[in-house]
Amino acid sequence: MSNTPPLVVAITGASGAPYAIKLLKSLLEARRHVWLIVSQHGIRLLSTETDITDVAGLREAVGPGAWDELVTLFDDTDRGASPASGSARSSGMVICPCSMGTISAIAAGSSRSLVERAADVALKERRKVVLVPRETPLSAIHLQNMLRVTRAGAVVLPASPGFYHRPTSIDDLVSFIVARVLDHLGVEHHIARRWTSGARATEQ
């Protein structure tokens, strides 16, 4: 996959740290290069929901060997970094989890941070953009902003796992969502069983 442009991955402050960790692990297992941006609120999220307190801890959690080979880290305050330019090739972007504040900023095109600017660039360049919000209930403002980014070309993929695959663990639920994200990014995986019409729920 060395000739494939990197995927931009961002972690923001919405609940759902396990999704972010599983997604990063899966991308590295698939040998995909990643441009990673973790917002300040994303670090707080990781600390709140896991034992990860900083980027160094995230590196250890996903595997330092693969991280050092495949991950390039960018500061969210650096709006002049590579993901901020349309001339810097990428395979698209995923924000997982994606806060409603981030969706609002993307919908408005405000580009106040590298995460927001990178998403703005990916949309204008007609690249794949996947946003994974985890918020409930949704206000009219949330729904309007999600409609705006969808009309701009983004895929809004809420962290709402299904149950037809008979999950038996939290990891099963996390894998369900990450598998859908990987599908939309065009990344091959085997982390979740696919639906087959007429198949028994317990069949593999």
CB 10 within 8 A of CB 38: yes
Residue in the block written with tokens 């060997």: 65
- pTM recorded for the entire structure: 0.94
Confidence band of 194 (pLDDT split at 50, 70, 90): confident
Confidence band of 193 (pLDDT split at 50, 70, 90): confident
pLDDT value at 19 more than 60: yes
| pLDDT tens digit sequence for 160-187 | 999 988 999 999 999 999 999 999 999 9
- 30 to each of 22, 23, 34, 60, how far by Cα in Å? 12, 11, 11, 18
**Which domains, from first to last, does the chain contain?**
7-185 (3.40.50.1950)
Share of the chain above pLDDT 70, in %: 96
- pLDDT, average across residues 6-34: 97
